[in-house]
Amino acid sequence: MVDAPACVIPEFSTDKDWRNDPNRHRPLGSSWRMSSEMVEGLRAAFDLPVMETPLEREVLHGVLADSIVSAHLYPGRRVSYSRRAEYWAQRLRYTGPGWRRHVVTRVIDKLVDKGILIEHDRRPPGKRGVQSSYLPNPMLATFPMPRLNKRRGESLILKNAKGELIAYKDTQQTRDRRSMLEKVNSILSETDFRVAGNEALSDGRWMKIDDTLLSITQTAMHRVYNGGWTLGGRFYGSFWMNMPSDDRRYILIDGGETVEVDYDQLHARIIYAWAKKKLVGDAYEIAGFERKVAKRAFFIIVNARTYPSAKGAVAEYLTKKKMDPRQAGKLIAALRERHKPVAKYFHSGLGLQLQNLDSEMAEYVLRVMTVQKGIPCLPIHDSFIVPAGQVKNLMRTMKAAYERFVGRASAAVCSMRFVATYTVAESTAYRRDVPHLPSSPSASSTEAEYGIPVLDSSVLQNQESSSQNSVPSVVVETALSILLESKEEPKAEQIVVKRRPMPELMRKAMEDRQEVWREEEARKQVIRESRQRGRQLVYGGKDGSAVVQTV
């Protein structure tokens, strides 16, 4: 038996709450699924309860998978869940049809009876403010980490002002957004992602980094709206969003190098555009403070609703950065003086509106780059990662998005953050003492049973043309991992570019376009030849000699 610290958990605990406070329970997750082989292995080791319906079996496997994850990654941490029907009714859109109160409680009670879940604290009916909880049996951690597959659930998530999941009725707008995101997720699931210098992660293994579970198989994104459809809406859930920003440079798409392009000072530019003022210079250059500190403070001040809350949040941030929290008032005053033309937007609580606007811009970029052109484009709020050959394409699209939603875009509205290359032999990324988890299969019989899409072909890249004589970048490993230009020709074995069959729909569209182009060229050629014959009858042959016509 493992003793867990006693505590009282509120009715709802956000990810930030339980991750940052070890005394809080971990909320039960419903998104994990096991392969059929893992289910059989557990059945051989444990006396698993027999469930009557496919939906009940789905919930059983989901609770078991979540318990194994918890036992491996959060040993001794209790898992909380609700026994209220209203709680699960609000989450039905996000969890799936099987996750109802009577099914969840029946599954957990049976697992407790079998000793797979222990120390069950079953709260009495009607008791508000405290959820029931249990501890996964520590024996689950002695099992090898199973090959788990995260379920692709609802892609549009709506929360209320308290951060609680709420149900909603579909509209034409929600259906359109969901359809667009599903198309993007399908293309990304067909794309070959790797991380240079890290074969374990590139092989699809789950890896725990800074308390975050990461795998390149996790490419499906979802959007989260906070308090309404005009607040928030940013994209979350994919592996590149959970990677440290410095390590994203090692992402390879179909074996090729990538580039990240971001909007420069986006929220500051938007606020100045709203005020019909011109932003001059760097918005986050404040004397006496590091730029990253001033930038973070700027966001805090705009997002806060009052001056006291802004000052308290800035002081907390300075403390976290091992700086004097008494400098909070001075930093706020300096930012107000620097941005006097837009000071009315400070302490305005506009953060979620700004996030909603940048999420609309990100949706526009994804519609053009990925849905229309078939180019894998990886969003990170206000920046995007694409194959290196698509940089110009991306920057044009980002500027078009800015002009569509904000206003006239200057040449400096977006810029490249880094260039990564597939010629990296070994990177310094992820050299940390973290548990490596076994690889996840691309698909399993469990996925088919639960109706999860299985996609196994890659999109042919729509690469921009480039000179065949161009010299590729080669990474030279230094303490800072600086990219240097080298005129050495890379060895043939270093270049690994994988191509998989193009989806039939895209192939048919491309063939149709080519056929139209060929027909148009043939028509133009007939016209050119006709005009050439006419000129020869009047002026002579190609050598310019006169033609004498006789009647």
List, for residues 122-133, the tens digit of each pLDDT value. 887 665 667 899
CA-to-CA distance for 52 and 286, rounded, in angstroms? 65
Report the percentage of the chain scoring pLDDT > 90: 33
Domain residues of the chain, as ranges? 15-146, 268-351, 503-551
CA-to-CA distance for 334 and 318, rounded, in angstroms? 15
Residue 267, token pair as written in the block: 């929220």
CA-to-CA distance for 215 and 238, rounded, in angstroms? 9
User: 3-state SS string over 173-234?
Assistant: HHHHHHHHHHHHHHHHHCCCEEECCCHHHHCCEEEEECCEEECCCCCCCEEEEECCCCCEEE
Give me the phi and psi of 193, to 5 degrees please: -105, 140
Is residue 447 very low, low, confident or very high in pLDDT (cuts 50, 70, 90)?
very low
CA-to-CA distance for 448 and 446, rounded, in angstroms? 5
Residue 430 has pLDDT above 80, yes or no: no
Q: Do 221 and 181 touch, CB atoms closer than 8 A?
A: yes
Mean pLDDT for the chain overall: 76
Q: Where are the alpha helices (DSSP H) in 54-100?
A: 54-73, 85-90, 92-95
Is residue 197 very low, low, confident or very high in pLDDT (cuts 50, 70, 90)?
confident
CA-to-CA distance for 35 and 68, rounded, in angstroms? 13
206: left (phi over 0), alpha (psi -120 to 50) or beta: beta
CA-to-CA distance for 355 and 344, rounded, in angstroms? 19
Cα 508 to Cα 44, 501, 504, 514, 519: the distances in Å are 49, 13, 6, 10, 16
Residue 142 has pLDDT above 70, yes or no: yes
What is the value of pTM for the model shown? Answer: 0.68
Q: How far is it between the farthest Cα atoms of the chain?
A: 116
List, for residues 388-413, the tens digit of each pLDDT value. 989 999 999 999 999 999 988 877 78
Residue 335, token pair as written in the block: 């930012």
Residue 279, token pair as written in the block: 């932003």
CA-to-CA distance for 51 and 471, rounded, in angstroms? 61
More confident site: 450 or 531: 531
- Matching residue, tokens 């800072």: 480
List, for residues 25-60, the tens digit of each pLDDT value. 888 888 888 777 788 888 888 888 888 888 898 899
List, for residues 332-382, the tens digit of each pLDDT value. 999 999 999 998 899 888 889 999 999 999 999 999 999 999 999 999 999
Nearest alpha carbon to residue 359 among 345, 376, 374, 379: 379
Q: Is 258 exposed, middle or buried (0-12, 13-18, 19+ CB in 10 A)?
A: buried
Mean pLDDT of the 277-285 span: 90
Mean pLDDT of the 255-268 span: 91
Sign (positive/negative) of CA torsion 82, 83, 85, 91?
positive
List, for residues 170-191, the tens digit of each pLDDT value. 999 999 999 999 999 999 989 9
Asked which of 104-108, 125-129, 270-274, 372-376 is least confident by mean pLDDT, the reply is 125-129
SS3 316: helix
pLDDT of residue 435: 42
The gap from C-alpha 204 to its chain's centroid, in whole angstroms, comes to 17
Q: Do 234 and 355 touch, CB atoms closer than 8 A?
A: yes
Nearest alpha carbon to residue 168 among 61, 274, 79, 89: 89
Asked which of 143-147, 192-196, 204-208, 530-534 is least confident by mean pLDDT, the reply is 143-147
CA-to-CA distance for 42 and 114, rounded, in angstroms? 13
More confident site: 122 or 483: 122
Nearest alpha carbon to residue 64 among 2, 111, 133: 111
Is residue 420 very low, low, confident or very high in pLDDT (cuts 50, 70, 90)?
low
Residue 472 has pLDDT above 70, yes or no: no
CA-to-CA distance for 25 and 9, rounded, in angstroms? 7
